[in-house]
Amino acid sequence: MKTFTPKTAEISRDWLVIDAEGLVLGRVATVAASLLRGKHRVFFAPHMDMGDNVIIINADKVVITANKATQNFRYRHSGYPGGIRSTSWGTLLADDPEKLVYEAVKGMIPKNRLGRQVMMKLHVYKGAEHPHIAQAPQKYDTSAIRRG
């Protein structure tokens, strides 16, 4: 018996909306990463992009548990000596919540060409509105995700 490998033409991609209001950041990120990779499909293949397009709304209302808002930081470096910059998660959630959620999901995706291709299907928005109404996205059931 041969192993079934789906062709790219056979893959159907859905559009899913995850409402992150009141949900824990890491749990939203793991669900989104799994949907982006396509791990929820019966015929998942790790070498192919099989996932769905994911829209995360209400990124500004995501919950950061414990003391992570003050103890965890996002670092960037300019490449020059002494050029490291840090921003706490609390500040990042207040200033740019889309970046915080995007990078949380990005950390759970493989760091290669396939991962970069998968991340192009993630769309994160601060409020409840998004411009993808024409794609007829379906609301993803977040009842299984623990609330903060």
Q: In this predicted structure, what is the pLDDT of residue 135?
A: 96
Strand bridging mode 84-88 / 122-124: unpaired
SS3 77: strand
In a domain, 4, yes or no: no
Segment 10-38 shows an average pLDDT of 96
In a domain, 134, yes or no: yes
Domain that holds residue 135: 13-64+95-139
In a domain, 41, yes or no: yes
In a domain, 60, yes or no: yes
Query: How many domains, in total, are found in the chain?
Result: 1
pLDDT digits (tens, 9 = 90+) for 34-83: 999 999 999 899 999 999 999 999 999 999 999 999 999 999 999 999 99
Per the confidence metrics, is the pTM higher than 0.75?
Answer: yes
